[in-house]
Amino acid sequence: SENILSSANRLLLHEGKLTLAESTRLLDVYLFLFDDFLLITKIKRNKKKYGGSDTGLIPVCPSLTPELQSFIREGGFCTVLDQPIPLDRLTLKNVDPI
């Protein structure tokens, strides 16, 4: 299981921001849905300000959405919130918005 995150055959199906209701607080997260697991990351913003136009030169993976690429260039990053959830263990339910 040491190479679980580096499979060459893995496909990124969808990614995007979501607000996670965690007991008494709301948490902004960024989800990565792969063909075999769901990865939930916490959005972090770098408190340091970068000077000049060097931030545009930061290399970013081209397969990420433009929104996430821009966020990373601005000094933001995502940290893994919990271990990946295998899709064969995931149960989805519709929840009434009320």
The predicted pLDDT at position 50 comes to 53
CB 55 within 8 A of CB 69: no
Higher pLDDT, 66 or 34: 34
The predicted pLDDT at position 70 comes to 77
98 vs 79: CA distance, rounded Å: 30
The predicted pLDDT at position 49 comes to 54
pLDDT tens for 36-94 read 999 999 888 776 655 544 545 455 566 677 777 777 777 777 888 888 999 999 888 88
Return the number of other C-beta atoms located less than 10 Å from residue 87's C-beta: 13
The predicted pLDDT at position 19 comes to 87
**How many helices (H) does the chain have, and how many strands (E)?**
1, 5
Nearest to 15 by CA among 35, 43, 34, 36: 34
